[in-house]
């Protein structure tokens, strides 16, 4: 990138600010966020842009570490199997905020004891008696529960100018008193739990299929019976709200579809 002249030349009063984070990931899976403003054409001419590259890399960054293992196998009797296992963790550092000190809570994931996420999947098929083909697929995983986008937050306490402590509050608080008497903004989110540490229910899903192919007058027919979510797992993977002390806090909003049986027919010619 060429150096950018910070002086705005006469007559060039329009500026285009490209503040999109640029992620640079190395071979070890580690990268830093660079907030850079670049020279670019604007209305058929070059515009002077201010270079605001961050100088303190410790205030904004992201690191990713992960391991993925997969396999494919042919089984005796004409069967096949494939699957894999993955484990990963992403740690963000967003400590450059100056407008809201609440955002500095849990802003450095390297100090938040972020757990590793892991998922596993295996699937395969096998010819069985009388020309039938049996298949199965099993997968298990879960989701991180978050709220907000800039920054990403976990459980928060949304307070307003009139929010009061509970009548039986414990700790350094005055029961029934206004939480923040000098508050000037209409509302604010106070982080209570580090983001990336709250997870949905773990999903365990098993799907089974049984099919058979045969020819009838030049047509190839393949009837199939399938059972999805054979364990009838009702894992909740999203919630209505992560705002503490509200009626919808941590209430499930989406759950895994219940066990479903399907009969189908494929016709090829």
Q: What is the pLDDT of residues 160-207, one digit of tens each?
A: 999 999 888 888 888 999 999 988 889 988 899 999 999 999 999 999
Cα 7 versus chain centre, distance: 41
State if pTM tops 0.85. Answer: no
Q: What's the chain look like in SS3?
A: CCCCCCCCCCCCCCCCCCCCCEEEECCCCEEEEECCCCCCECCCCECCCCCCCCCCHHHEEEEEEEEEEEEEEEECCCEEEEEEEEEEEEEEEECCCCCCHHHHCCCEHHHCCCCCEEEEEEEEEEECHHHEEEEEEEEEECCECCECCCCCECCEEEEECCCECCCCCCCCCCCCCECCCCCCCCEEEEECCCCCCCECCCEEEEEEEEEECEEECCEEEEEEEEEECCCCCCCEEEECECECCCCCECCEEEECCCCEEEEEEEEEC
Please check whether residue 65 is in contact with residue 56, taking contact to mean a CB–CB distance below 8 angstroms: no
pLDDT at 48: 44
The closest alpha carbon to 42, from 18, 10, 6, belongs to 18
pLDDT reported for residue 69: 97
pLDDT score at 257: 92
Confidence of residue 25 (pLDDT cuts 50, 70, 90): very low
pLDDT of residue 172: 84
CA atoms within 13 A on the CB side of 154: 18
Tokens of 76: 């005796």
Question: What is the percent of the chain where pLDDT is above 70?
Answer: 77
Q: What is the pLDDT of residues 197-253, one digit of tens each?
A: 999 999 999 999 999 988 888 888 999 999 999 999 999 999 999 999 899 999 999
Q: What integer pLDDT is reported at residue 171 of this predicted model?
A: 81
d(CA 183, CA 161): 6
pLDDT in tens, 27-36: 333 333 333 3
């Amino acid at each position: 990138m060429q150096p950018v002249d910070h002086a705005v030349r006469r007559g060039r009063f329009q500026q285009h600010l490209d503040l999109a984070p640029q992620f640079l990931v190395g071979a070890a899976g580690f990268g830093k966020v660079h907030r850079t403003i670049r020279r670019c054409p604007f209305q058929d001419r070059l515009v002077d842009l201010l270079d605001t590259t961050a100088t303190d890399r410790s205030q904004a960054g992201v690191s990713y570490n992960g391991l993925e293992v997969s396999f494919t196998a042919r089984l005796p009797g004409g069967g096949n199997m494939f699957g894999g296992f993955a484990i990963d963790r992403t740690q963000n550092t967003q400590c450059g905020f100056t407008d809201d000190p609440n955002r500095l809570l849990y802003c450095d994931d390297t100090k938040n004891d972020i757990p590793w996420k892991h998922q596993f999947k295996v699937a395969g098929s096998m010819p069985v008696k009388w020309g039938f083909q049996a298949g199965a697929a099993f997968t298990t995983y879960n989701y991180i529960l978050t709220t907000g986008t800039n920054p990403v937050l976990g459980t928060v306490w949304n307070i307003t100018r009139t929010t009061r402590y509970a009548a039986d509050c414990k700790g350094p608080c005055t029961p029934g008193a206004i939480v923040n008497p000098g508050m000037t903004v209409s509302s604010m989110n106070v982080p209570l739990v580090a983001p990336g540490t709250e997870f949905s229910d773990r999903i365990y899903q098993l799907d089974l299929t049984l099919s058979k192919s045969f020819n009838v007058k030049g047509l190839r027919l393949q009837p199939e019976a399938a059972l999805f979510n054979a364990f009838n797992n009702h894992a909740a993977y999203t919630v209505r709200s992560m705002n503490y002390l509200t009626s919808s806090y941590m209430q499930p909003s989406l759950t895994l579809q219940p066990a479903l049986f399907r009969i189908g027919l494929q016709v090829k010619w």
